[in-house]
Structure 1
Amino acid sequence: MFWLVDPEGGRFISKGVNNVRFDPDHVGNTARVPYADACRKKHGTQHLWRVAAADRLAGWNFNTLGCWSDEAVATAGASPLAIAPTNALGASFKLHRRDQVFPDVFDPAFAAHIREGANKHCANRCHRVELLGTFIDNELYWSPDWRGADELLTLFLNLPSHRPGRVAAIARLQEHYREFSQFNAVWQTPARSWQELATMGRVEAPFFRMPPGGLNDALEVKADLANPARAAFSADCDAFLAIVADRYFELCVSAIKAADPNHLVIGSRFGYQAKSSVIAAAARYLDVISFNCYELDATSQIETYAASGKPCLISEFAFRGDDVGLPNSHGAGPRVASQTERARCFERYVTAALRHPSVVGYHWFEHADQPAEGRFDGENSNYGTVTIEDDPYVELTETMTRVNALAERIHAGTLPGD
C-alpha cells in the first residue's frame, strides 16, 4: 500500500482542489472575472479572500491546493496547505512551434527549453516544505482521444521536413523496414522512396485506431488479428510512441530533479487513458503517476495505471449539477440532476478510489463555478465547491468534509466493516 509522507514523517493522502484563486475564470476573452468581482464585495481585499479561502478549505478537511492555484493561499490560513503546481514544460515548448500538436522531443532545443523551464519554476521551490511535488504538464496529446484521431507517429511524420521529429520518425521506420517497398505495402503512401517520404506534403495514416481503454482495446486486437497490414501499422505507431514517451519523461524528470532534488515529480496529468508503452515510460521516471478521470467511477483507470507499480494520484475529477442555473453545455464530466446527487457521486467516487492501495490523492476540479457566459474555451459548468458569489454548496462541502476526514482510514482499510 502506498502513502505520501508529510514533512514530519506522517502518512499523507493529498486531498486537493484545483484553481483556488481570486481570478479563476475570465468571461471569454474579456477582462471581466465575475468571481473576483463578487469576492471584492464580500471580502474587500485579495489578502482577506486568501485567508477566508484557506480556512474554509482546511475546514472541509482538504490539505492541498491543486493545479493553477494561488500559492499564497497555502500559508494564509490557520492551517498550512500543500501546493502541487504544474509547470507546463512540454506544452510551453509546443506553443513556440505552432506546427506541433505534441512537443518535438527530438529537437535539441526541447532539452534546453525543459532545463530552462525547470530551473525557472522549480529551483526557487526546492526548499519549500509545503510543496507536495511538481506536475510536468497537463493533458498532452499522446494518442487518439476526444481531440482527434491522429497517432503521434503520423503527427511527427507531418512536421515540416527539416524538423528533427520528422527525421527521427522516418529513421525509426527505416530501421524497421529493410526496403521502402515493405514500408509502403503497409502505409500505402504516394511516395516512391524514403527521400520522397521525407519531403511529401502530408502522410495519411492507412488505418484509424480508437482511443485506448476498455472495450476499445479488445476491438483493436481483433481488428489487427484480422488484417496483418493493420497490425504492422499499429506496431509502428506503438513502437514510436514508446520512444517518444521515454525521451519525454527522461528529459523532463531529470531536469526537474536537477533543479529540485528535494521533492516528488508527480506526473504529467494524463487527460485520457494512456497506452501501455506510455504508462511504462512514465513509471520508469516518475515518483507518482497522475491522471484526470471524469467518470462516475475511476476504478478501471486506477487499475490500469497501478499495474505500473507506481502510486497514483487523480489530478482532476468533478460532477456537475443541473439545478443551479448554469448551462453545463461545455466541459468534461457527468451531469447530474441535483446538488444532492453531486455530493453522493463525490462520496462514491472518492471512497472507491481510496480503497485501492495505489491511490495517494485526489484533486477536485475546481474551487469556484465557471461563468455562465463561458470562460476562454467556452466551459460554463457547475464545477465549483462555491458559487460565482463565493457561497459554498452546502451538501457537497458537508460531504467532502466528512469523506476527507475518513480518507486515511478508508485507504488503510480500518473503518468498521472493512
Structure 2
Amino acid sequence: MFKKYFAIMSLSILSTAIPTLADTAVTDEEILSHSFKTISFEEGEAPIKITASTGVWGSVHHEFSNDYATDGEVSLKVRYEEGSSANVTLAPADGSKWDFSDDRMILAYDVTNPVAEAGRLVTTFKYDGGSISYQQNIEGNTTKTVYCVLDKEQYSLGADMLPSPVGENGMVMGSGWGGANFDPSTISSISLRYSLDGVGYYIFDNFRVVPNPLLNPENVYSNIVDKFGQYTKADWPTKTHSEEEMHERFALEDAQNAIWVEESLARKDRSKYGGYKNEDLRQESTGQFYTTKIDGKWTLIDPDGYPFFSTGFGIVRLDGMSTWISGREYMYEELPAKDGELGDHYDRLQNTLSPPSGVKAGDGFPFYEANLERRYGDNWLEEWGKNATTRFEAWGLTSIGAWAEPKLFFGKGSEHKTPYTAFTWTTVSSGKHIRLYDSVPDPFDPEFEKSTRAALNSQAVKYNINKDPYCFGLFVDNEFKWGTSMTNNSLIKAVLDDDIANEKSYAKKHFLTVLQDKYDTIEDLNRAWETNIASFNELGKSYTGKISAEDGGVLIYEIANKYYKTVHDVMDELLPGTLYLGSRNTEFGTPTEVIKAAIQYVDILSFNNYNEDVQREKFRVEEYDMPMIIGEFNFTGTDSGLFAASGVGTQPERAEGYINYVENALKSGNFVGVHWFQYYDQPILGRSWDGENYNAGFVDVVDMPYPELIEASRYVYDTMYETKFNHVPMTNIDVKNPHINMDLGTTAQIEAITTPLNLNDDINYYTSNAYVATVDKNGVVSGVSEGEATITVKNANDLFVVTSVNVTVGENIEQTALAFDDNAKEIVTTIGATIDLSKYLELNAIEKSELEWKSSEKFIATVDQSGVVTAHSSGRVTIVVKDKNGYVTDSVNLVIQ
C-alpha cells in the first residue's frame, strides 16, 4: 500500500540528481533549504495534496506505482480520459506557498510517456492572482526531465523551442500562456495536463529543485547556427556543408525533376489541370472549378469537367520568414555583412509577438531567402517561383494552398499551369471595424462590410482571380478564436461586457434584440439563465454575470451567421463564380454553432487539422452534406536539426503520416483536398512573428528536398484517383469475441468481421487503458496488468462505423456491455418511417438512460436519445450508440429507400 503524503530524500540521493552545470553559484545547502521539498512519492516526504479533475472537461485517474520510478521505488501513474483540459494537481497539504523567486534555482521533474504515441504536456503554476502555463511535446516511449525555467528573460529567446541545455533526455518548458502579474514567490500548486483529445498517459516522479541551466543563455547557445541557417551541433543526410555541395545537389535534383515532369505531362489519365481524365466520370465543362457528388462522394471538378483532388502547400511565399538577429547575435556562427553580397536581405522587425526578451525592435534575417540568392543569383525570386511549380508537377502536387505569393501566382495560371487558391484577411489592422475579441470582427458594424470589400479588392479582384480558370477558390481569414464553451467564453464575455450606450456596441445591441424576441419578460430570461437581472435595460449595460449555454450558443451563431453572410455577399458581387472556401477554422476550437452558420454560405467548408487523419468528431459531419477541405496539416520531425518537438520523430515517419492522411481524406467521401503547411521549414530560431520553428517543410532552409516526402507525394499522386473512386466503403464491423478474459502477460486476437468482407486493413484499434491492455494495429491485445479495458474497433475512414471489445486481465469481472443483435446489422426502411433501435440492443450492466445516440447524417435520418430513428431521405446512414460514461459502443447501418 502506497502512502500519499511523505519528506525530503537523503542528501546523497538528491546530490546525484543535480546536473553538473558551469556558471552556477547554487550550493547543495541552498537547494536543501528551498521552500519546495522533493516529491518522489516515497515514505517520509513532506505531505502533499493530490487532486484530479473530473466531469465535462475530462477525467483523470491516478495511482501510486512501481512503474518507471526514477527516484526511489514509487511513481505517480496518471491516465487522462477524453477531454483535453483534465489535469492532476500537486499542492502543499498545509496550504503553504512555494517560493521560486530566486531564478538560480528551478523546479525539475521526470515524466515518462509509456505508449508509442507522442503527447502534449502542459505544466501550470498557480500563484496569487493568476496562473501561468507552459507546454511541450513528450515523444512516445521516452522518459524526459522537464526543467521549469520561470524567468521569461531566460527562456524567451524568440524561439518556441531550443536545444536542451541538459542533454537529449532533458527539456526546458516551451512557451505557453497566462502570467499576468506573475509572482513566482507565491506558487500554491502545480497542475499537469495531457492537452490532447483522447486517452493520454504520463508517469511522474522526482519533483525537485535543481540549478537553473539557462542562467546564462549566451554560454549555452553560442554559435549554434551556421551561415546557411542550420544547426551546427549535429549532422543529418540532407544537411548542406558548402555552397559547392549545394550546387551539386541541386543539379542532380533538377535533372531528376526534368525526367519526372516529362513523365507526368505524358500521362493520358490526367487533365491539364491535374484532374482525373476518366471519361466515365467526366462532368459538365464550365471553364471554372466547381464541386459535385460522384457516386455519393464529393469532388472538385476542373474547368474541363474532370474530377480533381487538391493537394499542395500553404506558404508558397517568402513574407514573414525572417528570424530575429538582434538580442541573440551570439547564437550565429557567421552572418552576412549588411553592406555585403547578401546584406539586402536584412529587414527591420518590430511589434512582433515573440521577440527575444528585452528587444522591441531590431534586425531580422531570412536565411531561406539568402540561400535562394546563393542558388539563383540576382533573379532569385522569379527563378524560385518557376522552380516551385516545376517541382510541384514533378512531385505530383496538384495545386497551391493558402498564402501563395500573389505577384507570382495570382491571375497567372496560364503561365505557371498550376491550380491555386487565393487568400485574404478581413482582419488586417487597416480595417476600421470593431474587433470583439482577438481578431473576431463585429460583423454588425457597418465598417465590416467595407473592410471585407477593401480586402477582396486589394488581394483578389486586383489580380482578376475570378477570370483565371486555374484559381479554384478564395480563403477569407484564418483560425478565429470562437471558443468552445458557451458559458465560459471570452468572445461571449466581450460582447456582454459592452454597454449599448456605446454608439459602436453593434453586436450587443443585436443580441439584446434577439433576447427580447425570445423572452416575453426579463423573468423568463432569469429563469433560463438562473440569474436575477433587473430588466433588459440593465442587461444592456456592461454585464459580467453568467449566461445559459443555450443563449451563449445563440450569440455565437448570430455573430458567425452575419460574418459569413457578409463575406459571401461581397464575394458574390466582386468575384462571381469563385468558390468561397471559408475561414480555415481550427478543428479543436470551432463550436457547432459556427459550423451551422458557415454551411449556409461557403461553397467548401475548411478546417485546419493537425491530427493523424481527417476523421474528427469535432467536424460535426453529421450536421451537413457538403464538400470539405483541410487548409493546414503536417507531420514534423526532429532529425533534421530543428528543435520544436513533434508528433513524429523521423523523415520516414513524416512520409508515412502524409500518405495515411491523404488516403484517409480520399476515402472519406467528404474531402476535396488537403493542404500541407508549409512548403519549406520554419527558421531554426523561429519565425520573427511568433517564434514557431518546426520541421514543417518538404524542403529545408537551404531549399533542399526531403527525399522521403517527395517519394510519398509521388506515390499518392499516382494512386489517389483510384483510391478515391474505387474505394469500397466499410458499412459495419462485428467481432466474434466481444468479451476477452486473459492472463497477465498473454495476448489475444480480436476477431473482426467487416461488411463488405476483408476490409480489415481499414480498421483502427484504440485502448481505453494502456496500463491494463494494449492493442496493436492488427488487433492483437496484450495483457499488461490486472484490470479492465475497452478496445474501440473503428473504421479508419468513417468514425461512425465502430464497435468495441471488453477486456479483463486477471480475474474475469463483469463489465458494462452493449451490442446490436444480428437482426439489426443492416436494416432497410423507407422515407418517413420510424424505427426503435433500442429493441435490437443487448445490454449488460447498463441502463438505457445511460446511452448516447448519434446519426452519421442527420439530413438522411435522425435519432433521438431513446434510440428512435426517423428516416428523412434516401441513402445510407449509420447510427451509433455509446455508453455516455464510458467507451463501450456499437453501430448499425440503415438503408433508406
TM score, norm. by length of structure 1: 0.83
The 1:244/1:91 distance shift into structure 2, 3 A limit, reads: farther
| Residues 1:156 and 2:495 are matched in the alignment | yes
Letter in 1 for 2:496: L
Structure 2 counterpart of 1:10, from 301, 306, 314: 306
Deviates more, 1:366-375 or 1:165-174: 165-174
C-alpha separation in 1, matches of 2:413 and 2:365: 25
Matches within 5 A, 1:361-372: 361-372=673-684
Paired residue secondary structure (2:668): coil
Matched, 1:381 2:694: yes
Larger Rg: 2
- The 1-side partners of 2:300 and 2:421 are apart by 13
Aligned to 1:271: 586
Aligned pairs for 1:267-416 (under 5 A) are 267-273=582-588, 274-301=590-617, 304-305=620-621, 307-328=623-644, 334-375=646-687, 376-413=689-726
Q: How many residues align?
A: 384
Partner SS for 1:264: coil
Alignment of 1:222-241 (within 5 A): 233-241=548-556
Structure 1 residue matching 2:660: 3-state secondary structure: helix
Q: Residue in 1 aligned with 2:460?
A: 122
CA change 1:138–1:389 in 2 (3 A) is: same
Q: Is the deviation greater in 100-109 or in 25-34?
A: 25-34
Determine the C-alpha separation between the residues in 2 that align with 1:31 and 1:236.
47
Provide the aligned C-alpha RMSD in A: 2.8
Residue in structure 2 matching 1:35, options 346, 364, 368:
368
Give the unaligned 5+ runs of structure 2. 1-296, 325-348, 350-362, 729-757, 760-897
Cα distance in 1, alignment partners of residues 471 and 436 from structure 2: 34
More strand by share: 2
- Following the alignment from structure 1 to structure 2, what is the Cα–Cα distance between the partners of residues 77 and 49? 18
CA contact (8 A) 1:54 1:77 kept: no
Structure 1 CA distance for aligned equivalents of residues 509 and 365 of structure 2: 45
**Relative to structure 2, which stretch is displaced further, 236-245 or 351-360?**
236-245
Give matches, 1:82-231, under 5 Å.
Answer: 82-90=419-427, 97=434, 100-101=437-438, 102-123=440-461, 124-144=464-484, 150=489, 152-159=491-498, 161=500, 162=502, 163-185=505-527, 187=529, 192-200=534-542, 203-205=544-546
Partners of 2:699 and 2:705 within 8 A in 1: yes
- Distance in 2 (CA, whole Å) between partners of 1:366 and 1:121 is 20
**Cα distance change, pair 205–81 in 1 and its aligned pair in 2 (3 A):** farther
- Cα separation, 2, equivalents of 1:50 and 1:125: 18
> Does the 8 A contact of 1:266 with 1:288 survive in 2?
yes
State the Cα distance separating 1:90 from its structure 2 match: 4.8
Closer/same/farther in 2, CA of residues 119 and 71 from structure 1, 3 Å limit: closer
| Runs of 4+ residues deviating >6 angstroms | none
Question: In structure 2, what is the Cα distance between the partners aligned to 1:46 and 1:54?
Answer: 13
Q: In 2 relative to 1, CA 77–389 (structure 1 residues): closer, same or farther, beyond 3 Å?
A: farther
What SS is found at the alignment partner of 1:89?
A: coil
Q: Per-residue deviation at 1:271?
A: 1.4
Structure 2 SS opposite 1:117: helix
Code of the aligned partner of 1:344: E
**204 and 322 in structure 1: CA distance in 2 versus 1, 3 angstrom threshold:** farther
Alpha-carbon displacement from aligned partner over 1:322-353 (angstroms, at most 9, x marks no partner): 11121215xxxx52111111111111111111
The answer on whether the counterparts of 1:317 and 1:365 sit within 8 Å (CA) in structure 2 is yes
- After superposition, the Cα gap between the structure-2 partners of 1:131 and 1:270, relative to the gap in structure 1 and judged at 3 Å, is same
Maintained 8 Å contact 1:54/1:73 = no
Q: For residues 77 and 43 of structure 1, what CA distance do their matches in structure 2 show?
A: 24
CA contact (8 A) 2:322 2:366 kept: yes
Aligned to 1:258: 573
Report if the CA contact (8 A) 1:369-1:383 is conserved: yes
**C-alpha distance in 2 between matches for 1:302 and 1:131:** 29
Residue equivalent to 1:46: 381
Residue identity opposite 1:203 in structure 2? T
Tell me the CA shift for residue 412 of structure 1.
1.0
C-alpha distance in 2 between matches for 1:241 and 1:261: 28
Distance 1:93 1:73 in 2: 24
- Shift of the 167–307 alpha-carbon distance from structure 1 to 2, 3 Å rule, reads closer
Pick aligned residue for 1:21 from 291, 314, 317 = 317
Measure the CA separation in 2 of the matches of 1:312 and 1:127. 24
Show the counterpart of 2:811. Answer: none
**Contact 1:71 / 1:83 at 8 angstroms: preserved in 2?**
no
Q: Secondary structure of 2:540's match? A: helix
Provide, for residues 63-111 of structure 1, a one-character-per-residue CA deviation record: whole Å limited to 9, x for no partner. 2111111145545998611121221125668785455432111112222
Checking the alignment, whether the CA contact within 8 Å between 2:303 and 2:469 is kept in structure 1 is yes
> 1:154 Cα shift?
2.5
**Which string of whole-angstrom CA distances, capped at 9 and with x for unpartnered residues, describes residues 357-377 of structure 1?**
111001000011111211111
SS in 2 for 1:85: strand
Conserved 8 A contact 1:90-1:136: no
Decide whether the 8 Å contact of 1:88 with 1:136 is kept in 2: yes
SS in 2 for 1:20: coil
**Matched residue SS, 1:126:** helix
Contact 1:100–1:159 (CA under 8 A) maintained in structure 2: no
The change in CA–CA distance for 1:321 and 1:107 in structure 2 (over 3 A counts) is same
C-alpha distance in 1, partners of 2:455/2:612? 36
Name the CA shift for 1:122/1:306 in 2 (closer, same or farther; >3 Å): farther
Q: 8 Å contact 1:312–1:359 — kept in the other structure?
A: yes
- Looking at structure 2, the residues matched to 243 and 199 of structure 1 have their Cα atoms a distance apart, in angstroms, of 20
Mapped partners of 2:608, 2:479: distance in 1: 8
What residue identity is the alignment partner of 2:640?
Answer: V
Shift of 1:181: 4.1
Change (3 A) 1:99 1:309: closer
Query: Are the equivalent residues in 1 in contact too, given 2:422–2:460 (CA < 8 A)?
Result: no
Distance in 1, Cα, partners of 2:592 & 2:618 = 13
How many angstroms does 1:184 deviate by?
4.1
**Secondary structure of 2:616's partner?**
helix
Residue 675 of structure 2 aligns to a residue in which SS?
Answer: strand
Q: What's 1:229 paired with?
A: none
Aligned identity (percent) is 28
SS at structure 1 position matched to 2:417: coil
> Using a 3 Å threshold, how does the CA distance of structure 1 residues 37 and 188 change in structure 2: closer, same or farther?
farther
Contact in 1 for aligned 2:435/2:441 (Cα 8 Å): no
Distance in structure 2 (CA, Å) of the matches to 1:294 and 1:247: 28
In 2, distance between residues paired with 1:24 and 1:11? Answer: 35
Preserved CA contact (<8 Å) 1:291 1:315 = yes
TM-score, length-normalised on structure 2? 0.40
Work out the CA distance in 2 between the residues paired with 1:180 and 1:371: 56
Structural mapping, 1:65-84, within 5 Å: 65-74=400-409, 80-84=417-421
